[in-house]
A and B are shown apart, each in its own frame.
Chain A
Amino acid sequence: MKDNETLIQTGRHVTQFPADVSLCAGCSSCEIVCSLLHDGVVGPSYNRIFVERGTISMIHRIYACQHCVDHPCYHACARKDQAMCLDENGIVYINEEYCIGCKRCIKACVFDPPRINYVKSSDKSKRKAKKCDLCRTRPEGPACVEFCQVRCLGISDLPDERR
């Protein structure tokens, strides 16, 4: 954890419930449906949510963008409002057409590990940042939440409803 993580005011984001509410089964459904629905592929560089596997303990943690209220990634973007954009609901999203893969957003992320993914490629035009956009254009909401078979994911301001 970075020193400043605890000082960050987070926004509405995908969150993992504690194990006494629902234990992550480690199935990777969240990562898979994320990259499938955004990019039409399955691959660790393409998902915008991350399963940190407890390979020995078998207790797994989910990491996703916390949608910080002051959104430092947005401000760090070399092409702010073209590549990294802010919508009317305060969701920071990436318009990949304009992303030049400079990684400034990743460096600006206050969380460890950073919550922004990155596609490496020998073709510079394919180097892109990937970031959770809460499936902002999807009527059903975040696909990772919908397809979590063990319902261990939810939206940050709704955990009480889940219980």
Chain B
Amino acid sequence: MATLYGYVGKIARINLTDSTVTHIPTSNYVPKYLGGRSVCNKIFWDEVGPGVKAFDPENKIIYMTGPTTATGIPTGGRTVFTGISPNSYPEQYAWSGIGGWFGAEVKFAGFDGFILEGKAPEPTYLYIEDGEINFLSARNLWGKLVHDTQRKLEEIHGNDVKSIVIGPAGENLMRNASITTSNDNVAAKAGFGAVFGSKNLKAITVRGTGTVIPADIKKILELRKKMGYPQAQPNPIHHETTHGMWGNNIPVEGGWLRGQVACSHGCNQHCNKLMLDMKSAFKEEKVNHVEKCVSIFAFGYKEDCCWVPIQTFETKQNHLLPCKMLSGEPLPPDPTDPHFKELYDLVPGDIVNFWEPNFDKGSIINDLCNEYGMDKWDVIVWLLPWLSMGKKEGVFDGIDFGMEINVESEEFIKYLMDSIVYRKTYYGNLLAEGMARAIRALGKEKFGDTIYHGRYSQVVPGLRLDLPISLETAWGHSVHWQGRGFEGAINKPGWVAVNLHQMNSTRDTQTIAHHHDTFDNYLAVKDDPCRHPLTAIAVIKGENSAEIKDSITCCDWQSPNLFWTDMEAQMFEAATGIEMTEEKLNEAAERSKLLFRAILMRNYGRDREMEVNAIYPIMTYPDPWGQTCTWEEWNDLVDLYYEERGWDKTTGWPPQEVFEKYGLHEVADSLKAIGKLPGCR
């Protein structure tokens, strides 16, 4: 049999109801569906029809590595989960990426991925070792915090195993519960930790001694030196005397220790900020944890995130990936660039005054999220700002949370999180359902839409920027690079594009896509971004890049590179030996996107009307310049997007010929049979 380079050849179907395992050849799906999210989309389309809810045993969690996983190609260690998301509002099919060493170990154990289906009769964990999958009792693990669970599994199986686990949040079906690897990497966005909980699945532990054989070693070594412009340089532990970023930077008494660590197997970056000897929410001793993008706001949130155009709009001379500065080691800028000044023109974030800087309290918030196993985004940039803003506006007057609302207080934060994770109180139980559902249960008009009067622009001094107390965008997620609220100082050409990404999704797209475009395009669209095809074209490129990233697999810190456009094709070729071009990769991305679209149409009735109405409200609030988007502007941009996609403008549905162009005849036939192709309505 010819060597299948890059992949290891089989996917495990794991039935938790009857503790059975069957094997599916990976070649049933690849290379047509590449790997990662694209394979997941195909499996979900084939196997999960309409009517299934997130916590039904019929929901499936599909986990896939990519062809680059464990080949040594940088960022290949990232992998993907998909399934029906309990955190999406309404519940829909979604996905979530994760780093760590788990994905590589799954391949060493002989699997390219697995399909989790059914529900275990009692608390269970899976132990996978070199092709054998064992169903073991998790009675002694149930109830344990995330790190305690990781530690216990290493005690049982040896310290060379790799585990993904859920914490109490997942066990108690908190809708934004995460799945966590051992180095604080999480799949959190979709709330799949709660789906694990609904299946009585506490953890998956794996050990593998097998191999992954890549096709082109010379090329892999070349990619290791070139991708993401890694700078091989010493990485000493630094003693820092302050913490935070511009607008929220605070002195830290006694200082703190910072390191930088990679998030996944084989990565050649070290983007994650390792915070050493931090205050724990649960124990006397100090703990280490990693700080990623959103964590920084736990420590202090007086001002919103600032922004420089180069984070979104790039030239060949100067191009950074978003938040590359997390590592503190961006390449020095090239000042000879004619657009240099505009690219690095720092836009200060809005004054928001959510909470005063407090280093220990920030550490407590992060530790609570890590150990309970829950999405930091929902806590740090939605739940806590909602409490802060709502209290200042008197929204919670007369409501008894059981303790006075005070987001400045460690004790209140601990009490609140405990109430939610263990569903201890009426409001804890309500908030465990996620912000979108809780606010609607309380009454959205008052508890979501009440205007906060404390946000002020620093771009236009003195300008008050009305903002609802709930930072909700669409599909049950908080705003993210959308020009208002969290990470708000982005201008209109940037945020309308981000909203278009979000409109077509079921989750926060910016944690995996971050909108990119060239500065030349920015200059062309900046005066009227909603009526220029280049805005829509850039969004489509970004969406397709995201499909590729989650399929090959890659990471948002290194991909896409707008000026090395065949990088992912080179990665795929190096891993598999299968000839790949940019054009073919883009076709595969379109195919994956169409499958995702078809699932949303068939299972959840997605169409244009649903989408434009879900995303539009947030754009009626002002950005830092005081700008908003009119209904007409927004719909003009949506028209352009559907036109560029080749989809029907009235319904937002791709027509039969588009599905067929990308080899999805049977998908088109299925949609036609249920009246969901354009013209069928």
A interface residues (Cβ-Cβ under 8 A, vs B)? 17, 19-23, 25-29, 32-33, 35-37, 39-46, 52-53, 55-59, 120, 147-152, 162
Across the interface, A29 reaches (CB within 8 A) one of B101, B154, B217, B268, namely: B268
Report yes or no: B211 in contact with A25, Cβ–Cβ below 8 A: no
Report yes or no: A20 in contact with B236, Cβ–Cβ below 8 A: yes
Q: B interface, how many residues as a size bin?
A: 35 or more
Given known contacts A23-B259, A43-B210, A55-B182, A149 and B270 CB-to-CB distance under 8 angstroms:
yes
Q: In the docked arrangement, what's the CA distance between A21 and B259, Å? A: 11
Main secondary structure of the interface of B (DSSP, over half): loop
Report yes or no: A149 in contact with B210, Cβ–Cβ below 8 A: no
Which of B227-235, B303-311, B421-429 faces chain A? Answer: B227-235
For B290, the chain A residues whose CB sits under 8 A away are 58
Report yes or no: B266 in contact with A44, Cβ–Cβ below 8 A: no
Give the 6 A-B CB pairs with smallest separation, nearest first. Answer: A43-B211, A55-B182, A150-B235, A27-B262, A22-B234, A25-B270
> Chain B residue with minimal CB distance to A146?
B232
User: Which residue, of B71, B154, B182, B261, has the highest number of chain A Cβ atoms within 10 A?
Assistant: B261
Judge whether B79 is part of the interface by a CB distance below 8 angstroms: no
For A150, the chain B residues whose CB sits under 8 A away are 232-235, 260, 270
Judge whether B491 is part of the interface by a CB distance below 8 angstroms: no
Report yes or no: B266 in contact with A29, Cβ–Cβ below 8 A: yes
Report yes or no: A56 in contact with B150, Cβ–Cβ below 8 A: yes
Report yes or no: B262 in contact with A25, Cβ–Cβ below 8 A: yes
For A44, the chain B residues whose CB sits under 8 A away are 108, 160, 208-209
> Chain A residue with minimal CB distance to B147?
A56
- List 6 additional A-B contacts (Cβ < 8 Å) besides A148-B232, A151-B232: A25-B260, A25-B262, A28-B104, A29-B72, A29-B224, A58-B290
Q: In the docked arrangement, what's the CA distance between A27 and B265, Å? A: 5
For A53, the chain B residues whose CB sits under 8 A away are 101, 159, 182-183
Across the interface, A26 reaches (CB within 8 A) one of B70, B213, B262, namely: B262
Report yes or no: A40 in contact with B234, Cβ–Cβ below 8 A: no
Q: In the docked arrangement, what's the CA distance between A40 and B233, Å? A: 27
Report yes or no: B217 in contact with A40, Cβ–Cβ below 8 A: yes
User: Which residue, of B151, B154, B232, has the highest number of chain A Cβ atoms within 10 A?
Assistant: B232
> Chain B residue with minimal CB distance to A150?
B235
User: How many pairs, one residue from A and one from B, have CB atoms within 8 Å of each other in the complex?
Assistant: 131
For A57, the chain B residues whose CB sits under 8 A away are 288
Given known contacts A28-B101, A44-B108, A56-B151, A22 and B236 CB-to-CB distance under 8 angstroms:
yes
Q: In the docked arrangement, what's the CA distance between A21 and B260, Å? A: 13
For B288, the chain A residues whose CB sits under 8 A away are 56-59
Judge whether B269 is part of the interface by a CB distance below 8 angstroms: yes
Q: In the docked arrangement, what's the CA distance between A39 and B150, Å? A: 32
Across the interface, A41 reaches (CB within 8 A) one of B101, B159, B211, namely: B211
Q: In the docked arrangement, what's the CA distance between A40 and B267, Å? A: 19
For A33, the chain B residues whose CB sits under 8 A away are 72, 221, 224
Across the interface, B261 reaches (CB within 8 A) one of A25, A37, A56, A162, namely: A25
For B147, the chain A residues whose CB sits under 8 A away are 56
Q: In the docked arrangement, what's the CA distance between A149 and B265, Å? A: 13
Report yes or no: A151 in contact with B270, Cβ–Cβ below 8 A: no
Report yes or no: A45 in contact with B182, Cβ–Cβ below 8 A: no
Using a CB-CB cutoff of 8 Å, which residues 379-413 of chain B contact chain A?
Answer: none
Judge whether B274 is part of the interface by a CB distance below 8 angstroms: yes
Q: In the docked arrangement, what's the CA distance between A52 and B158, Å? A: 12
Q: In the docked arrangement, what's the CA distance between A162 and B234, Å? A: 9
> Chain B residue with minimal CB distance to A41?
B211
Q: In the docked arrangement, what's the CA distance between A48 and B182, Å? A: 24
Q: In the docked arrangement, what's the CA distance between A138 and B591, Å? A: 44
Report yes or no: B217 in contact with A151, Cβ–Cβ below 8 A: no
Judge whether B184 is part of the interface by a CB distance below 8 angstroms: yes
